[in-house]
Structure 1
Amino acid sequence: MNIIYVLIPLAILLVVIAVCVFFWAVKSDQFEDLERQGSSILFDDDLAKKPTEKPNKPNNDA
């Protein structure tokens, strides 16, 4: 029975923290653009980058 005196305040504290984090995320516009991150994985950004040159390997056939 004594554990309830610990678990109930702990649960209330966690709920308060979760609600505060949610309102912070809404206030800082975290939920404004939900589609960009989901669709960005579909597009290949490697085409826009310059290809890197392969380093020249020294010829050790002396």
Structure 2
Amino acid sequence: MEMLVYLIPISLFLGALGLGGFFWALKSKQFEDPDGDGQRFLTDDWDEHPKP
């Protein structure tokens, strides 16, 4: 029972860290064009220097 004093704050911290990472990815537009990424994956035209 004494171990819960350590495990609960650690799990809350890791959950908040993961949630913060998810919101950072949303803010930096990591998920902006998933359909375009899927189409680019299927083509044979590889671009050595993709446009940002």
* TM-score normalised by L of structure 1: 0.63
Letter paired with 2:26: V
Q: Give structure 2 stretches of 5+ with no counterpart.
A: 47-52
Q: Percent identity?
A: 41
Per the alignment, residue 20 of structure 1 pairs with 20
* TM-score normalised by L of structure 2: 0.72
Q: Give structure 1 stretches of 5+ with no counterpart.
A: 47-62
Query: Which is helix-richer, 1 or 2?
Result: 2
Per the alignment, residue 42 of structure 2 pairs with 42
Letter paired with 1:7: L
1:1-41 deviation digits (Å, cap 9, x = unpaired): 12111110111001110111111111111111111222222
Q: Which has the higher contact order (CA 8 A, sep 6+)?
A: 2
Structure number with greater Rg is: 1
